[in-house]
Amino acid sequence: MKNEIYQKLPVYHPPDRVWHNIHQKLDAEEKSRNSLSYIWGVAASVLLILFIAVSMTSNIKNVSKEVQITYSEEHIDTLLTHIPATNESDEFQEIENLCKAQPIKCDDEYAQSLIQQIRDLENASIELSQQASSEQNIPDLSIEKHKNYIQKEKYKRIKKLRRYLDE
Amino acid sequence: MDISEETLIQGCIKQERRFQKLLYDRYCAAMFTIAVRLCVHYEDAEDALQEAFLEVFKHIHEFRKESTLGAWIKKIVVRTALKKNKKSSQRQDIQILPLTFCDFDNLIEKQTDMEYLEKCILSLPQKSRQIFVLAEIEGYSHEEIAELLQISVGTSKSQLHYAKQLLKQKLEPILK
């Protein structure tokens, strides 16, 4: 018998329920993946805020003690100035515009998780600025570093969101 | 609409349901046919197809284009079907409904030759049927079959010989 004979054998077609089941399982996997990334995002934001708050408190305490006995000769790292100053309302306006263009995508868990993280980071940045200004105008390099770090993290998420909504 | 294989792959990597459905539609019949021939139960063939396609969508980014997409999917379907079969034969409590067709004389009257041949293949004992399907229909080598079924090359060859003998006997009525 030659192989060509077998090419003429009958072909079986699977019932529609097979695709239906595959479709359902893919949907379920996608949902669990999105909610997992949302949980990780929230947890990371909370940890970041806690870390900043704790390190900031300890730094401020140290600086206050040193100022009483000596003077500070802090050298500002020029690398810190590399992040361009941006208008925060512009950033949120841009996100709003993107959301208007892609309302369905913007409402899903992933996009909402990113927006929440951006807001959390924004709040952390404001909180940091307020605390710094309340500490009798003591110049502190670590606060600047933290602020820059938060900004960087925020840009990353804005970039991610933009990419996601542009897809 | 004829969508290229590359477009399908890229769409599936992005987890786009439209492309996943197109890929499924393109290969489901061929893959289901292989699964039916390898499985003892029809339901197992359905399950194997479902599991295999979920595996395909999950790992499509790992497809290295060393073979055609169809051949890659076929490999996954064959492995899944054989695994399913193993599990199925371990379930002693479930009654096995073999895909055997004993009433050959009546079948010659009702079915075309190819359908009759198909039924004869499906009526072969499970192990020799799997080896016959893989070697003769799907073109696997004895080394590949030995690896897939975890048997020796010699066993694969002797089982194929046995399957051919049985098939010859069953086909005798229409060969006369």
Tell me: pLDDT of B111 over 60.
no
Mean pLDDT is highest, among A3-12, A104-113, B82-91, B104-113, for A104-113
Any chain B CB within 8 A of the CB of A28? no
Output the pLDDT for position B56: 95
Domain for residue B124, yes or no? yes
Cβ–Cβ below 8 Å for A26 and B17: yes
Backbone angles phi, psi at B62, to 5 degrees: -90, -5
Domain for residue B38, yes or no? yes
Mean pLDDT is highest, among A20-34, A76-90, B26-40, B89-103, for B26-40
Q: Would you give the distance in Å from CA A97 to the centre of its chain? A: 19
Parts of chain A with a pLDDT under 50: 1-2, 81-82, 85
User: Which tens digits make up the pLDDT trace of A12-43?
Assistant: 999 999 999 999 999 888 888 877 788 888 88
CATH number at residue B57: 1.10.1740.10
| Nearest-neighbour CA in chain A from B79: distance (Å) | 18
Q: Give the end of a domain, one of B61, B90, B119.
A: B90
Domain for residue B12, yes or no? yes
| Tokens encoding B17 | 């349901």
Burial class of residue B100, CB neighbours in 10 A (0-12, 13-18, 19+):
exposed
| Tokens encoding A44 | 């990371």
Tell me: pLDDT of B108 over 60.
no
Domain for residue B98, yes or no? no
Cβ–Cβ below 8 Å for B17 and A6: no
Same domain, B71 and B141: no
Residue B76: domain span: 5-90
> Given pLDDT bands bounded at 50, 70 and 90, which one contains residue B3?
confident
Interface test with B, best of A7, A17, A18 (most B CBs within 10 A): A18
CA angle B117, B119, B125 (to 5 degrees): 110
The ipTM (two decimal places) reads 0.79
| Tokens encoding A72 | 């500070």
Domain positions in chain A are: 15-68+86-166
Structural domains of chain B, count: 2
Any chain A CB within 8 A of the CB of B162? no
Residue with token string 């694969």: B156
Q: Give the end of a domain, one of B90, B118, B137.
A: B90
Mean pLDDT, range B45-74, rounded to an integer: 93
Higher pLDDT, B85 or B164: B164
The closest of B47, B53, B64 to B25, measured between CA atoms, is B53
* B32: chain A residues, CB-CB within 8 Å: 12-14, 18
Cβ–Cβ below 8 Å for A30 and B137: no
| Tokens encoding A111 | 């996009």
Distance separating alpha carbons of residues B37 and B47, to the nearest angstrom: 14
Burial class of residue A113, CB neighbours in 10 A (0-12, 13-18, 19+):
buried
CATH number at residue B140: 1.10.10.10
Higher pLDDT, B10 or B110: B10
